Amino acid sequence: MPATTRPKPDPIPNPVLDCSQDQPRSVPVSVWTTAQRNSLGQRRGRYLPGSVAHPGKMLPAIARHAIRTYTQPGDVILDPMCGIGTTLVEAAHLGRHGIGIELEPQWPPLARGNLQLAHRQGAEGAGTVYQGDARDADRIVNPELHGHVKLLLTSPPYGDSLHGQVRATRETGQPGITKFHGTYGNSHGNLAHAPTDELLAAFTEILRACRPLLADDALVVVTARPWRAHGELVDLPSAVFAAGRAAGLVPVERCVALLAAVRDGDLVARPSFFQTKNVRNSRAAGVPMSVIAHEDVLVMATIPSSGPVSAEHWPDAATWRSV
């Protein structure tokens, strides 16, 4: 798409600071048991092997639970930062239709490949993947699909210390570890490289650009988690709620998606190597810290601007691009 000049978005409160005023006290909370199997087990045989290269994948069980909870078969689901297509794959397996947008050019072909694998495995939902900047979502996506999305489900990039994989280097004769698959890509506008306040301002732009795609009764579900930067807690979940409100959404629920298995009444945490290492180093230095054992799932609703969408306006099959 041609380059455009965007107006500077309104600032979003810095999530490193106290954002307690941004967290609605009346928002209900629920707990999702979404890590009974680890991430590799959830994707094995369901996603192409190359999917492991993406540094910040949404857990399939989180996507699956959100889709099953908040939509019905035949509904349309949008992920404006779709990566390897987790949202689209899980939607297809559940008989929903998915729209994905991804900025980095290496991921859309993989997302389409994962959709094709899902269809070979019997998934009935359709899916389409666009490459482009989600801040242009209203111009990227086929206009015939505007107003039909019942669920926006996504996760912004955050906390590079939480991403990537490690490999022991003993076999090379060098003690220690090396990190790999830890970067999203280098396309202009990639929010993974932006400071947190800029990331949230841009995320507000994305939500605003997606509004024309949403049905009046749509829900917006964003997964995020807090992390520590230079010893300070970055309260990203509260800041995401603030970004949603800036985009004209209202918070309706805050859920806890466990990153730990439930075994005989106990939690078995599944932290990354880097989380475990950072916690151990902090405790050794006298700083009390615990591993993060959950993902925040923030549920927001649109503010209706008109009546419900009539079924006669539902796009026909030709509207969906082949994956």
Which pLDDT score, from 0 to 100, does residue 265 have?
84
Instruction: Please report which residue ranges of the chain form alpha helices under DSSP H.
Output: 39-43, 60-70, 86-93, 107-120, 137-140, 196-210, 236-246, 273-284
The answer to whether 145 and 127 have CB atoms below 8 angstroms apart is: no
Distance of alpha carbon 16 from alpha carbon 85, whole angstroms: 30
Per-residue pLDDT of 133-154, as tens digits, reads: 999 999 999 999 999 999 999 9
The 10 Å Cβ neighbour count of residue 122 is 8
Q: Supply the mean pLDDT for the chain.
A: 79
β-pair partners for 224: 296
Pairing mode of beta strands 266-269, 260-263: antiparallel
- DSSP letter at 182? -
pLDDT over 70 percentage in the chain: 71
SS3 30: strand
pLDDT for residue 97 is more than 50 = yes
Give me 173's structure tokens: 């004769």
**Letter for the amino acid at 89?**
V
Distance of alpha carbon 63 from alpha carbon 221, whole angstroms: 10
Which pLDDT score, from 0 to 100, does residue 270 have?
81
Q: Is the pTM of this model over 0.95?
A: no
Which of the residue ranges 33-37, 283-287, 317-321 would you say has the lowest mean pLDDT?
317-321
Q: Please report which confidence band the pLDDT of residue 28 belongs to, taking 50, 70 and 90 as the band edges.
A: low
**Domain boundaries, given as residue ranges, for the chain:** 20-304
Mean pLDDT of 25-36: 76
Distance of alpha carbon 189 from alpha carbon 37, whole angstroms: 34
SS3 161: helix
Phi-psi region of 244 (alpha: psi -120 to 50; beta: other; left: phi over 0): alpha
Write the DSSP string, 113-130: HHHHHHHHTT----EEEE
Which pLDDT score, from 0 to 100, does residue 318 have?
41
Domain 20-304 CATH class label: alpha beta
Distance of alpha carbon 247 from alpha carbon 137, whole angstroms: 14
